[in-house]
Amino acid sequence: MGRPLRDLRISVTDRCNLRCPYCMPREVFGADYQFIDRSELLTFEEITRVARIISAQGVRKIRLTGGEPLLRAGLERLVEMLAGIDGIDDIALTTNGTALAPLASSLADAGLDRVTVSLDALEEEVFRSMSDTRGPLARVLEGIDAAREAGLAPVKINMVVRRGVNDHCVVSMAEHFRGRAEVLRFIEYMDVGESNGWRLEQVVPAGEILAAIEQRWPLEALAASHEGEVASRWAYCDGLGEIGVIHSVTQPFCQGCVRARLSAEGRLYTCLFARRGHDLRALLRGGGNDSQIASRINQIWTARADRYSELRSLRQPPEAGDPGVDGAAASAQAARQAAGRVEMSYIGG
Ligand code: SF4
């Protein structure tokens, strides 16, 4: 579809210390879940080699993800290695923030440019139900402050909105971050993977989220800040900052999707909703030289035709009476049963 390869999201672990039901439901990712064995994980040297090869093919931005990437020991060393690659001009990290405060400045010193923190509520009880842990909301807020102070700005805040769980917190989150340096983004709940039990009626459409905020503070649309930006941007008319909305379900953005994803064990994925990835580790550990790996990546990307979210919205008409969401969600139900999609925690959102 003529989309250039610009962004690489690198998952450095499939493990996480939270159990957000929309990503890693405890009943699936329980005590006996088989996470990737350490020996199967790409080493920092292997990750850097792939990043160096793929940057020669156009990748400019790298985002480190997980699971929870800060669970991978010595991540600063990887950041330093990636920061040394010509052509990579932006290194970002997506984290749940629980381990960010003590690491923010050393990550910045190593060459990290920006951080996105996943935070789904400010109310302790809602935070706990969205993360299914008795987790430390306070530590996440400390992490956000530490990231700002370390210059990892603008710190972006990602809030996944689920109807009946945290949708009543949309306005309070907006109020908290208005006028601050952080940029709050609302994410439509997505049918990622196979285990989150996604249902149509739990999606809060972008339009509804924006309408709730506009009741309090008028907004005006902003242009995208770069090619392939996933969030649509909205500024508060009174100048107190901006918000974003990531609307993969109701307004798919596959036409502008310039992202590839590398799993922690070296499989390259060309879509968040992919069913299979392409093994690069065998080449890395099997004596493949850089040009063989480069042509393999080229082969994978040039054959890419992924547009899952777009197809989701075209496939079937919605079930009668579905409020506010078009046919996308209904057909996704059917598609997901058939396909067996990769888990988001495995390729890092
Ligand atoms: S559904 Fe796939 S192709 Fe579409 S925007 Fe998401 S990752 Fe890109």
46-83 tens-digit pLDDT: 999 999 999 999 999 999 999 999 999 999 999 999 99
* Degrees to nearest 5, angle at CA 310 with 305 and 311: 75
The pLDDT of residue 294 is above 80: yes
pTM of the complete model: 0.92
Ligand 1 neighbour 231 (Cβ under 6 A): no
Helix (H, G, I), strand (E, B) or coil at 244: strand
Ligand 1 atom index nearest CA of 312 = 1
Q: Whose CA is nearest to atom 2 of ligand 1?
A: 271
Q: What pLDDT is stored for residue 340 in this prediction?
A: 86
- Best of 65, 261, 273, 344 for a ligand 1 pocket test (most atoms within 8 Å of beta carbon): 273
C-alpha 100 chain-centroid distance:
17
In this structure, the residue with its CA closest to atom 7 of ligand 1 is 271
Task: Give pLDDT tens digits for 136-149.
Answer: 899 999 999 999 99
* 3-class DSSP string for 60-80: CEEEEECCCHHHCCCHHHHHH
Give me the CATH code for the 7-255 domain, please: 3.20.20.70
Residue 309 Cβ contacting ligand 1 at under 6 Å: yes
CB 185 within 8 A of CB 156: yes
State if residue 301 touches ligand 1 by the CB under 6 angstroms criterion.
Answer: no
Q: What pLDDT band is residue 339 in, cutting at 50, 70 and 90? A: low
**Euclidean distance between CA atoms 260 and 318, whole angstroms:** 30
The domain locations on the chain are: 7-255
User: Comparing C-alpha atoms, which of 293, 274, 294 is closest to residue 346?
Assistant: 274
Q: pLDDT at position 228, please?
A: 78
- Cα angle value 185/20/42 (rounded, 5°): 90
Distance 17 CA to ligand 1 centre (A): 27
pLDDT at residue 349 in the model:
81
State yes or no: pLDDT of 107 exceeds 50.
Answer: yes
The alpha carbon of 101 and the centre of ligand 1 are apart by a number of angstroms equal to 32
User: Is the C-beta atom of 254 inside 6 A of ligand 1?
Assistant: yes
